[in-house]
Structure 1
Amino acid sequence: MIQELILLCLAAFAAGFIDAIVGGGGLLQTPATLLILPHYPVASIFGTVKIPSLAGTTVAAYKYSKQVKFNYKVLISCVVAAFCTSLLGAYSVSMINNAVIKPVILVVLIAVALYTYFNKQFGIHQHKAHSLQKQILLAGFFGLIIGFYDGLIGPGTGSFLILVFIAVLGFDFVGASAHAKIVNMATNLAALLYFSSTGHVLYQYAIPMALFNILGSFFGAKLALLKGNKFIRIFFLIVVFGTILRFAWDVLLK
């Protein structure tokens, strides 16, 4: 158990660091936990990783909140929608075949990577493309979709949220990362409420992982705020590319 715990804590630290900058930490943490604890049900793994994810995201959100001004109307719309559908997604884990969803996500990710790479100004400057009312409606709409995805599958949620806040709502990378952390807190909490109520949380692993995820998130958020939009853009591309490889493996090779 000690060896398993050490490996899980290292994965949690790395996940927290990545997640604080551009999201997508779950792409490392969830597969690592599945690999290290193969004898537990998938639902128990999903429930367990929600605790470190929630802890790390909360710390990152706090760090961002001290330097970023939040658009609370847009944020609340997205948070409420995402929280509700994340509960539904967690409930649906055992009823929906992930193999149907993953090819669609793979295509979307490739398009995101190409657009971000060729559009050098993507997320570098904030611009308001819509009225506040339209921003609120769009935030709620995409919150519904991404919240459901986080409850159902999870990995990559932070990156998808950042993409929506930049490409759809007109935020820059720093602002998008800050807002995404708050929404991701809500989706993690909703899924955790469901998994814990059904006995699918391994607390002996989840609590130590949470401490290391917090540590990684602290350093990741600090680095992101120090380096700014251009650094986050590069990091975002790296994480999206890694996400593409992960989903391509699942879709094409498994």
Structure 2
Amino acid sequence: MTDLIVVAIASLFAGLIDAIVGGGGLILVPALFATYPGAVPATLLGTNKGGAIWGTAWAAVQFTRRVSLRPQTMAPAMLAALLGSFAGAWAVTEVDASLMRRALPLVLLCILAYTLARKDLGRHHAPRFAAGREAAAASGIGLTIGFYDGFFGPGTGSFFVFLFVRVLGFDFLHASASAKLMNTATNLAALVLFTWKGHVWWQVAAVLAVANVAGSLIGTRLALKHGAGFVRGVFIVVVGALILKTGYDAFLR
């Protein structure tokens, strides 16, 4: 019972952060590994997906009720993200991901530096493309980051947010709303694979799901209330934390 309380609290905070800008796995995954040190890693990752997908999906629904997104853009982009995630999950069984582990903190550092240098980045919603070209660009983002999520994973939500801001011209609020839809698709693909392999503790995942949705509700309300500037600030903090965590894992651990 104590273990469940600990991971439920972690799931609540993960849902809160994830709803605003992504990166909830930075909280929940280490909590699961610390609480259940003897468990198979794939089972803990599958259980994480089994709980986190509900908070992500809840946030996606809440955002789309308040933030206007083009269905003709998001539908093909979500499909591309789902297919990319399946492909990435297959690729990780065939290719060593150690190079990705070392490159990730450097890529994140570049994203953080660019965001800090461009003070106006993501503060105003000014889509760059017409519907057809926007759908194509969003699908390219979905396929690429979906593949990354299936192959490796850390920082997926932050990558989605940054690329929707930088490439499509969204503000951080619209980018975060879009990222929730994309993350729901990639999480679903991963969850199907983990379930197929028998790597989900559903009794734990159910508790995580309830807590994650509660945190997602809080995070979504904060993001919608305070707008793009607030989301940008949280994005900078989360990417900074991801740099420290992934850098430690890649070079010091």
Same fold? TM cut 0.5: yes
Residues 70, 179 of structure 1: 8 Å contact kept = yes
1:76/1:66 CA distance change after superposition, 3 Å: same
Query: Structure 1 residue 159: deviation in Å?
Result: 1.0
Which whole-Å deviations, capped at 9, do the CAs of 1:30-61 have from their partners, x for residues lacking one?
12212221211121111111112110011111
- What SS does the aligned partner of 1:66 have? helix
2:101 matched residue in structure 1:
102
Moved over 4 A (4+): none
- Give the whole-Å Cα distance in 2 for the aligned partners of 1:107 and 1:127: 29
Residues 123, 166 of structure 1: 8 Å contact kept = yes
Identity of aligned residues (%): 40
Amino acid of the structure 2 residue aligned with 1:170: G
Task: Select between 17-26 and 29-38 the one with higher mean Cα deviation.
Answer: 29-38
| TM-score, scaled relative to structure 1 | 0.95
Q: How many residues align?
A: 253
- What SS does the aligned partner of 1:228 have? helix
- Give the whole-Å Cα distance in 1 for the aligned partners of 2:93 and 2:15: 27
Which whole-Å deviations, capped at 9, do the CAs of 1:137-184 have from their partners, x for residues lacking one?
221112111111222333321111111110111111111111111111
Residues 34, 45 of structure 1: 8 Å contact kept = yes
Query: Structure 1 residue 89: deviation in Å?
Result: 2.4
Q: Where do residues 179-218 of structure 1 align in structure 2 (5 Å cutoff)? A: 179-218=178-217
Amino acid of the structure 1 residue aligned with 2:134: Q
Q: Where do residues 1-254 of structure 1 align in structure 2 (5 Å cutoff)? A: 2-254=1-253
- What SS does the aligned partner of 1:174 have? helix
Residues 77, 136 of structure 1: 8 Å contact kept = yes
Amino acid of the structure 2 residue aligned with 1:72: P
Amino acid of the structure 2 residue aligned with 1:181: K
Residues 90, 195 of structure 1: 8 Å contact kept = no
Any unmatched runs of 5+ in structure 2? none
| TM-score, scaled relative to structure 2 | 0.95
Residues 43, 93 of structure 1: 8 Å contact kept = no
Query: Structure 1 residue 88: deviation in Å?
Result: 2.4
Residues 52, 210 of structure 1: 8 Å contact kept = yes
- Give the whole-Å Cα distance in 2 for the aligned partners of 1:13 and 1:153: 23
- Give the whole-Å Cα distance in 1 for the aligned partners of 2:147 and 2:32: 21
Query: Structure 1 residue 97: deviation in Å?
Result: 2.9
Query: Structure 1 residue 91: deviation in Å?
Result: 3.4
Amino acid of the structure 2 residue aligned with 1:176: A
- Give the whole-Å Cα distance in 2 for the aligned partners of 1:6 and 1:217: 18
Task: Select between 92-101 and 177-186 the one with higher mean Cα deviation.
Answer: 92-101
- Give the whole-Å Cα distance in 2 for the aligned partners of 1:65 and 1:248: 34
Which whole-Å deviations, capped at 9, do the CAs of 1:63-101 have from their partners, x for residues lacking one?
111211111122122111110121222334444333221
